[in-house]
Structure 1
Amino acid sequence: MISIVVPVFNEEENMEAFYQAICSVMEKLPHSFELIFVDDGSKDATPMVIDRLSQKDSRVRGLILARNFGHQIALSCGLDHAKGDAVITMDGDLQHPPELLPQLIEQWQNGYEVVQTIRLTTEGVSWVKKLTSSCFYRLMNAVSKVRVREGGSDFRLLDRKVVQTFRRFPERARFIRGMMGAIGYRQTTLDFVAPPRYAGVSKFSPTKMLHFALDGITAYSKLPLRIAFYAGLVFGVVSFALALHVVYIKFLTDEAVPGWATIAASISLLSGVQLMGLGIIGEYVGRIFEEVKQRPLYWLRQEIGLGGKGDSKES
């Protein structure tokens, strides 16, 4: 059986078309499948659409999170509940083409345990978003030992044993693309061009993208901490040399030293470097704080389909 995990957030306009597209592709294949929608705290009618689809088709399940936990947590929730021999994760806005599903499954049958799709481009996306995305992947690969392919997406197939391994990763600040790069197993890739969204607008705001980038960098690299250390070391040496210069002028010469501009500039520069270092350390300490509380990664308000009774569950 193939499990298809789809995190959704305020996607009521896309749900029916997505369901029809998945069924039209999967029903031509010699595999049974389940379609798991993970509602990430939607404010629109998305949960009701999931409920309607589950009543019409027993292959549809719904996991309704108690609040918005974020895309990566929603994906993790779906992977925790998937029952298939292989699990495919994809978005519900039809920018991950359902037509690629047979190719993913074919690669899995050829012996690959992780089949990762690579987005070559997205139709209709601005050059600013393309540029920032490219810069992020280059920065990520420069500072991290784990390589993440540029254009990598959360549209992928995972073998059952990979899913079981993934469930053992307990961290809360999740960057699944990096986790897949570090998880090993036999991996291959498929390229695709993402079409425009079927309906609605992207819910991935610039703020969420920034947080996503910070999670990725801090989860897989200590280089920012080292940069702060080396910057502090360099400026410490410079400050010591400046102090020796001031002592020399003060006690060994008769020159007047106005110097207020130099001192003010030096203080401002060093204060900025110190604040930068504290900010970097604060990012890591904040993540440690979130981890040591050991709260559940997510909890459900309701489970729909296949015997779901609407009871809250935690993980």
Structure 2
Amino acid sequence: MDRCNQKDGAMLSIVVPVYNEQLNIEKFYEEATKAMQSVGMNYEIIFVDDGSKDTTPLILSRLSQQDCHVRALILARNFGHQLAITCGMDHARGDAVITMDGDLQHPPAMIPDLVKRWREGYDVVQTVRKATDDSGFVKRQTSKWYYIILNAVSPVHITPGGSDFRLVDRRVLETFKLFREHDRFIRGIIGDIGYKQKTISFVAPKRFAGKSKFSMRKMLHFALDGIMAYSKIPLRISFYTGMVSGLLSIGLIVHALYCHIVGEAAPGWTTTMIVICMLGGLQLMFMGIMGEYIGRIFEEVKHRPLYWLRAELGQTGSTDSEEQKTR
């Protein structure tokens, strides 16, 4: 009997996006395999290589040949963390799917706990990061205030400390696959999708090896995606601020006319420059906000695929180029 199908019943898919993680993959694979031994389910580990430039694809190729539980989806280029997760979820065959990072900051030892909650009847088991061992004061504070602002402007509640380490039932997965926007914020989609949800807290350990690939630029872009994807508040702020600025301008005009009529007009270069600079800055800022929304509309109306594969490795894949496989 195929050792990948020794157990009847439910199957679990573990989706792991990786980018230049050659130092972490084998350790993650060992820990995840050890965790699955206590779960008692058929399983597959789906690594999604997001255009790595190191030896990550070679390691994944070897693991997929050694262990039929391992599959690898090699993206044609770097599409970003959220689309890499989406790719893995699109290809998952399990009755439940766990998404997690491959740097071991999402502990594989928690997999049995997530499966236990799923067996209790929860459709979504979301982990909440209470702290990170190697995070500094600035990162903790920026994360805290980001969630405060996000929840203030968004009608969808996003759990502070929520991560992309979660389990979803097959029903949730099929609903998730209906969401095909390019600039995606998966935490918001899952939070807005409904179903019966449960949270589990954990402390994220340090990375096993290497450095985080999430640069400040990527973090800001990700934060912007979260706000823009679930809120029109920035546009409304632009509108209301424009109204207030218009009323203030009318007041200044009335004041200037009054001073001219009563003969008290005086050179007001400083005041004029301050008003011009303030209004000009506000106009540019709000034009930028509108540009962000218009840019996202532009991306969506082109109807381009979210990603495309260079190769699919593993039990059901092939090592040949498959760039025509797009989603």
Amino acid at match of 1:63: L
Give the 3-state SS of the residue equivalent to 1:296 in structure 2.
coil
Q: 1:307 Cα deviation (Å)?
A: 3.2
Partner residue of 2:297?
288
Q: Which residue of 2 aligns with 1:215?
A: 225
Structure 2 Cα separation of the partners of residues 137 and 210 of structure 1: 13
| d(CA) in 2 for partners of 1:290, 1:182 | 22
- In structure 2, the partner of 1:38 is 48
Question: CA shift at 1:306, angstroms?
Answer: 1.6
Give the equivalent residue in structure 2 for 1:118.
Answer: 128
Tell me how far apart the structure 2 counterparts of residues 112 and 305 of structure 1 sit (CA, whole Å).
Answer: 30
Which of the numbers 197, 201, 225 marks the counterpart of 1:187? 197
Unaligned runs of 5+ in 2: 1-10
One of 157, 162, 171 as aligned partner of 1:152: 162
What residue in structure 2 maps to residue 128 of structure 1? 138
Match of 1:300 in 2: 309
2:263 to 241, 248, 254: 254
**Structure 2 residue aligned with 1:267:** 276
**Structure 2 equivalent of residue 64 of structure 1:** 74
1:288 positional shift? 0.6
1:170 deviation in Å? 1.4
Structure 1: how far apart are the matches of 2:190 and 2:35?
A: 26
Corresponding residue of 2:38: 28
1:14 counterpart = 2:24: yes
Alpha-carbon deviations, 1:169-217, whole Å to 9, x = none? 0111110001111000000011111000000000000000000000000
Which residue matches 1:240?
Answer: 250
Letter in 1 for 2:221: H
1:70-123 alpha-carbon deviations (Å, 9 max, x no partner): 000000000000000000000000011111111100100000000000000000
In 2, the alpha carbon distance for the partners of 1:254 and 1:126 equals 61
Q: Which residue pairs with 2:4 in the alignment?
A: none
- Which residue pairs with 1:314 in the alignment? 326
Q: Give the conservation status (yes or no) of the 8 Å contact 2:17–2:47.
A: yes
2:71 alignment partner, SS class: strand
Shift in Å, 1:10? 0.2
**Identity, % of aligned positions:** 59
- Distance in 2 (CA, whole Å) between partners of 1:255 and 1:219 is 52
- 1:81 alignment counterpart: 91
1:125 partner amino acid: S
CA distance in 1, matches of 2:45, 2:159: 27
Secondary structure at 1:155 match in 2? strand
SS in 2 for 1:248: helix
Aligned equivalents of 1:197 and 1:254: distance in 2?
A: 72
Task: Give me the CA root mean square deviation.
Answer: 0.8
1:29-55 alpha-carbon deviations (Å, 9 max, x no partner) = 210100000000000000000000001
Q: What's the CA shift for 1:276?
A: 1.2
Residues 193-250 of structure 1: CA distance to partner in whole angstroms, max 9, x if unpaired?
1000000000000000000000000000000011111111001000011111112222
1:250-288 CA deviation, whole Å, 9 max, x = no partner? Answer: 2x1223421111111111111111111101111111111
1:302 aligned partner, one-letter code: A
2:235 alignment partner in structure 1: 225
Q: Which whole-Å CA distance do the structure 1 matches of 2:138 and 2:265 have between them?
A: 52
Match of 1:279 among 280, 288, 301: 288
TM-score by length of 2: 0.95
Q: Give the match for residue 104 of structure 1.
A: 114
Runs of 4+ aligned residues of structure 1 deviating over 4 Å after TM superposition are none
TM-superposed deviation, 1:124 = 1.8
CA contact (8 A) 2:38 2:112 kept: no
The equivalent residue for 1:202 is: 212
1:308, distance to aligned residue in structure 2 (A) = 1.6
Whether the aligned pair in 1 keeps the contact of 2:70 and 2:314 (CA below 8 Å) is yes
Query: Whole-Å Cα distance in 2 between the matches of residues 239 and 254 of structure 1?
Result: 21
AA matched with 2:268: G
Matched-pair contact (CA < 8 Å) for 2:256–2:265:
no
Aligned-partner SS, 2:125 = strand
Residue 28 of structure 1 deviates from its aligned partner by: 2.3
